[in-house]
A and B are shown apart, each in its own frame.
Chain A
């Protein structure tokens, strides 16, 4: 059964779209990862124009992150002040990112930049995940405890100006690092169609040294607002949000995530995590390979966009 996508202007098999939403939802429910960095490349592989894939995926992430962020809010796991500072950076990053996508579209380089960003980040995440699962595997064999972190350690971040007090996180630090983290995440959301949790969560833990109890809630809080803003900005600037595609991905993703969450409690995670890492590296390799091998058609066509 085919469905016509009004913005992508092509028809796609309904079950393929629902299935993709389901599989990515399953993986994200199981491992607690956001689905964006898996879904956007998959959409590109199925022939959706990269700019449409990115903007549409940002729309889907709004749906997949809102329920989690409300649950975290109820459990008071959101540092609102930190979230707002991150969001301030995120707003700036989103505006820059969407404007950049528009310029790159006019230059005909948007596909290249999206692919290159994915090759870089998928390679990075995949390698980290693989190393982590290998390390955990050996640790569980040898029974060694992980090295304890030293709390209260001061680093260069404490020398920066514009210090603010974040009560919920028990931190007194400069606003500059969270703003910069938020900015980077906003940029990635606009250019790659990801929530950016994979950058934000480690940055909050290791760079800002936030307590782990508020990390997930605060990042989800920021992700909902940034992806919502990116959706609106892409709609206005690029007209690349395909709401029909997004709704179908949401439908598949919601069901997949529920099944994944149940499966995650029952199955042994580490081998599967290694498998996910290999999948991520596989996609990284495929995107990279497509950039390096000589394409069968050197020419490409696009409607001429006037530079405004």
Chain B
């Protein structure tokens, strides 16, 4: 349903874009939307795929243009993170040195038509925070607690650890184009995805030059019982603890009564 609606909306959009009396000076751009702006984490949440779709607007005569490239960056909520490094001490691998990054995105996915580094020069990528390399650069700038020498290793570790948890993803060739204007792409939010506010930025490039971008938002929230339990545990921890104990007492005594009768 939503998809059908979205598609008809897209046709309208592109129809308008193609309509003949367009002011010639209007710049080429991109418009996009998500199939959903709200993801509810319920009891059976096991991750979800989110569809992003959109259109290139005011596209000129494509025969005279360089190849279009697109990068979609999905960023999760930023948190202060402590990174620890293990060292061998007396035969055991023990956390030793540590450093803190002030704002680490809990989720970071790039979807692109080609490898990000081939699409645009590194300073353009860095300026817009696109790709793991520029992400690491930003992390280093927001870091405290170590010398410049090992900052790079720690920032690389942040990316690596998140990647191993499927929270940072780099998907090349993950954008499907339909004709000249319409595109769609899907990104995966795994079950361990951090909750909070997400942004999805769509960047379009021609010949390494950024020609359009569009931002849309997504919110991931616990809902229902999950939300109730989480909020109780963090806002009323004493009551939460007492309820946990009462539930356990009831479960233990209930089970004993049940099996005595059986």
A interface residue numbers (CB < 8 A to B) = 1-4, 6-7, 9-11, 59-60, 62-67, 70-71, 108-109, 112, 116, 228, 231-236, 239, 241, 243-244, 246-247, 250-251, 254, 258, 291-295, 297-305
Contact = CB atoms under 8 A, between A and B. Distances in A.
B214 interface: no
A220 to B, nearest CB: 11
7 contacts: A10-B191, A62-B249, A108-B98, A109-B94, A243-B244, A254-B251, A291-B93
B238 A232 contact: yes
A231 B249 contact: no
Contacts of B157: 297-299, 301
A60 B248 contact: yes
Contacts of B84: 108, 299-302
Nearest to B250: A63
B51 interface: no
B95 interface: yes
Nearest to A66: B252
A292 B100 CA distance: 26
Contacts of B240: 235, 241, 243
Given A67-B253, A236-B238, A299-B83, A231 B244 contact: yes
B149 interface: no
Given A232-B238, A250-B251, A302-B82, A239 B45 contact: no
A59 B1 CA distance: 45
Interface stretch (B30-38, B112-120, B226-234): B226-234
A234 B252 contact: no
Nearest to B47: A11
The 5 A-B residue pairs whose C-beta atoms are closest, nearest first, are: A235-B241, A67-B256, A299-B157, A232-B241, A63-B252
Contacts of A9: 192, 194
Interface in B35-50: 41-47
Interface stretch (B19-27, B126-134, B158-166): B158-166
A300 B238 CA distance: 30
A241 B259 CA distance: 27
A295 B251 contact: no
B138 interface: no
B85 A4 contact: no
Nearest to B98: A108
Contact of A292 (B91, B242, B252): B91
Contacts of A258: 259
Nearest to A13: B46
Nearest to B88: A294
A203 to B, nearest CB: 25
Contact of A302 (B81, B191, B238): B81
Contact of A59 (B94, B226, B245, B255): B245
Nearest to A61: B248
Given A70-B256, A291-B92, A298 B85 contact: yes
A301 B100 CA distance: 10
A297 B225 CA distance: 35
A28 to B, nearest CB: 13
B222 A6 contact: yes
Contacts of B104: 301
A303 B195 CA distance: 14
Given A243-B244, A244-B229, A258-B259, A236 B43 contact: no
Contacts of A232: 238, 241-242, 244-245
Contact of B229 (A7, A112, A292): A7
Contacts of A305: 82
A283 B118 CA distance: 49
A54 B155 CA distance: 31
Given A4-B43, A298-B85, A299-B83, A228 B245 contact: yes
A7 B157 CA distance: 25
A274 to B, nearest CB: 28
Interface in B176-211: 191-192, 194
A304 B237 contact: no
Contacts of B172: none
Counting chain B CB atoms within 10 Å of each CB, the highest count among A62, A63, A241 belongs to A63
B244 A11 contact: no
B218 to A, nearest CB: 18
Interface in B48-90: 79-88
Counting chain A CB atoms within 10 Å of each CB, the highest count among B43, B104, B251 belongs to B251
A4 B191 contact: yes
B93 A301 contact: no
Contacts of B158: 299, 301
B247 interface: yes
B154 interface: yes
Contacts of A4: 41-46, 191, 226
Given A66-B248, A235-B244, A244-B229, A254 B83 contact: no
Nearest to B239: A235
B243 interface: yes
Contact of A235 (B41, B237, B251): B237
Contacts of A246: 244, 247-248
Given A295-B93, A301-B83, A243 B259 contact: no
B256 to A, nearest CB: 3
